[in-house]
Chains A and B, each alone.
Chain A
């Protein structure tokens, strides 16, 4: 069964440093997403991406965040200057269409110290 692949599985970074989280969505999917989940809390929407541009973003997705699809397969989330409160599990997801089920990756656990 096709999978969404995320790397790294764990990342520890110093406050103020930049991090890039990487994702390889399912190849024939057209819609890509980033979500985060702070420990013990709900899965929160960050951003959706379609046709090489952001289609929706949440209030969490401020100027510190950016997304890119640098080539035909990778989809990245960059946090420019990490804060302690950015510590969370970050999930990438993809779907064939807007109103189809999403396939999630297994996540990157980001710890900011």
Chain B
């Protein structure tokens, strides 16, 4: 069955450092992969989408990579700030498939 794996342990990081999160997937051949941010009690907020023919995507202090050989995506927050503290969800998607599945998410805590 399809699996999306994100680290269940929270990532505690000092303000100003780069946070790196990993998303691994199995039994999937996604055409794209999305990353979302979720704050407690709130809905997910879309951050970035990277397609299978793209190696890297950037948006402000965020960077995402997508390695279809390793079946992995990395999500980086550079120059992290306390306001970046949240849970980050990855969601691989297939062509024409209208049922986006989410990983459990990886919590980031940025320490001032």
Residue positions of A touching B, CB distance < 8 A = 4, 31, 33, 35, 41-45, 48, 50, 55-58, 89, 91, 93, 98-107
Contacts and interface: CB of A to CB of B under 8 A. Distances in A.
B96 interface: yes
B59 to A, nearest CB: 11
B45 A48 contact: no
Nearest to B38: A43
14 contacts: A35-B102, A43-B89, A44-B102, A48-B99, A50-B98, A55-B98, A56-B97, A57-B99, A93-B43, A102-B100, A103-B46, A104-B45, A104-B46, A106-B43
Please tell me the size bucket of the interface on B: 20 to 34
Nearest to B49: A101
Contact of B43 (A55, A91, A98, A100): A91
Given A43-B89, A45-B99, A99 B45 contact: no
Contacts of A48: 98-99
Closest 5 A/B residue pairs (Cβ): A104-B43, A101-B46, A56-B99, A48-B98, A42-B104
B42 interface: yes
Contacts of A45: 99-102
A56 B42 contact: no
A42 B44 contact: no
Interface of B: 31-32, 34, 38, 41-47, 49, 51, 89, 93, 95-105
Nearest to A31: B98
A105 B38 CA distance: 12
Contacts of A106: 42-43
A25 to B, nearest CB: 13
A102 B35 CA distance: 10
B99 A58 contact: yes
B99 A102 contact: no
A40 B95 CA distance: 30
Contacts of A104: 43-46
A101 B34 contact: yes
